[in-house]
Chain A
Amino acid sequence: MLRPRIIPSLLLHDNGLVKTVKFKSPKYVGDPINAVRIFNEKEVDELAFFDIDATVLNKEPNYILIEKLANQSRMPLCYGGGVKTVEQAQKIFGLGIEKIALSSAVIQNPQLVTQIADRVGSQSVIVVLDIKKNLFGGYEIYTHNGKKSTGINPIKFAKELEKLGVGEIIINSIDQDGVMKGYDLNLIDKIAETISIPLTVLGGAGSMSDIEKVIEKHGVIGVAAGSLFVFKGPYKAVLINYPTQIEKNKIFKINKSGNTE
């Protein structure tokens, strides 16, 4: 049976890992290479890194760091941040990244999806949509760490991206980011109804039961979280954590005697 994926989502800032709240006030949570090592031990389904400096500072992706992350990783890796061209994407794949997440560049030029997919295959091209609720209860895509509004409706745009050959869409709820009060389930429903390519949701997980709720409703889906997997306890002490295979099987409702050897 194909399982849902539970994905730690980590933010890169000044060569370190940070965690934000509503895309603001980044708090240092550790060293990225060390985090990959710990997540290897925990046998994570997949790991996502987003460089939150690259686009706003108009920088090239940090290839040296990406290569180090890829070399350490025994799990599939997704990288996002500052990728604007087919050449950059190809270089990053060459470093050993399985999936590349595009964001602002695709909003300016949706055809970029097709260009990259032609080279590396659709399955490896991902688009991340940073989404904010507007005053009228609708949703809108933002870029540049939530600072630039685009006027684009994410539900319509998700459909368009599917047609262009995107392999997966990640929706990231800006309002829920770092708040740890649960996902925006309404937004997830709306996007999930629209597309038939893989969907990963991010923003708001405060407990494993938040993750469970999404999986119960949507079955095979990617459920990503930042704070949940880097903080522990009410005072948000930095402590990397992740459910065990047995805990995951319970959530996935897989009846096996456990995967320990």
Chain B
Amino acid sequence: MITLIDYGVGNIFAFQNVYKRLNIPTKIAKKKEDLANAKKLILPGVGSFDYAMAQLNASDMREKLDELVLEEKVPVIGICVGMQIMGNRSDEGKLEGLKWINSEILKFDENLIQQRTKLPHMGWNDVVPINKHPLFIGLEKEAIFYFLHSFYFKCNNETESIAVSNYGISFSSAVHRENIYGIQFHPEKSHQYGEKLLHNFANL
């Protein structure tokens, strides 16, 4: 059972549909009671950092999530802004992040981007796993994913970066520490590759 965290940010249904096709049951959590006994969590997100943090803080799930993730070590994956809010802070906003992974969210330097189009980083790009990793089984070669963002995740501990992509600079497009995972791209909108990755997460 995978619990999808619905805090009013991001597309829960797209994840539900992927898992329906994979025959893996899901559950939507809108309040803290829904999080009881969660075995695996997905923290989606689209939009701005502060909006996502404000929505999560305004829900009554924040404390319970900290408990599940930091104490009970329930596996969790943050997606796009859902990944970014797992960091300490962001150039995009003023609010504090969840601080689950020691990191800063930085704005891409437009001067380093060679092409005319600068930001956002939007479209299909390569995701290259650094080492063998269970999240990327079957995705070691030639996997492309859909990105839509202007800020990137900078790990303060380099070893927590598990895959990189390139946009002006090489940046962490996937991170992992203990039971906590984050990916910058949208697996729910990345066809077979995204489905494979979400399947891998379910199998962890």
Contacts and interface: CB of A to CB of B under 8 A. Distances in A.
B115 A76 contact: no
Contacts of B123: 2-5, 45-46, 198, 220, 222
Interface in A1-56: 1-5, 40, 43, 45-46
Highest count of chain B CB atoms <10 Å: which of A43, A75, A120, A199? A75
Contacts of B125: 1-3
A123 B117 contact: no
A120 B47 contact: yes
Main secondary structure of the interface of A (DSSP, over half): loop
Interface in B137-151: 138, 142, 144, 146-150
A231 interface: no
Interface stretch (B57-65, B152-160, B189-197): B189-197
Contact of B146 (A67, A75, A218): A75
Nearest to A97: B11
A1 to B, nearest CB: 6
Contacts of B70: none
A190 interface: no
A219 interface: yes
Contacts of A219: 115-116
Contact of A43 (B115, B118, B192): B192
Contact of A40 (B11, B119, B191): B191
A196 interface: yes
A87 B149 CA distance: 22
A119 interface: yes
A5 B124 contact: yes
Interface residues of B, number: 43
Main secondary structure of the interface of B (DSSP, over half): mixed
B148 A124 contact: yes
Nearest to A245: B144
Contacts of B147: 2
Interface in B117-142: 117-126, 138, 142
Contacts of A139: none
A2 B167 contact: yes
B183 interface: no
B117 A124 contact: no
Contacts of A76: 146, 148, 186, 189
B149 A197 contact: no
A58 interface: no
A111 B120 CA distance: 20
A178 to B, nearest CB: 26
B46 interface: yes
B136 to A, nearest CB: 14
Interface size band for A:
35 or more
A192 B195 CA distance: 35
Nearest to A256: B142
A123 B116 contact: no
A79 to B, nearest CB: 13
Nearest to A43: B191
Given A74-B194, A220-B117, A261-B138, A122 B150 contact: yes
Interface in B1-40: 8, 11-14, 17-18
Contact of A122 (B120, B144, B189): B120
B118 A3 contact: no
Contacts of B18: 74
A246 to B, nearest CB: 11
B179 interface: no
A218 B116 CA distance: 8
A73 B14 contact: yes
Contacts of B148: 76, 98-99, 123-124
16 contacts: A1-B166, A2-B125, A2-B147, A74-B195, A76-B189, A96-B12, A120-B51, A121-B46, A121-B51, A124-B47, A192-B116, A197-B118, A220-B115, A220-B116, A256-B142, A259-B142
Given A73-B189, A74-B190, A123-B120, 12 more contacts: A3-B124, A4-B123, A43-B191, A70-B14, A74-B18, A74-B188, A74-B191, A120-B48, A120-B51, A124-B46, A197-B118, A218-B116
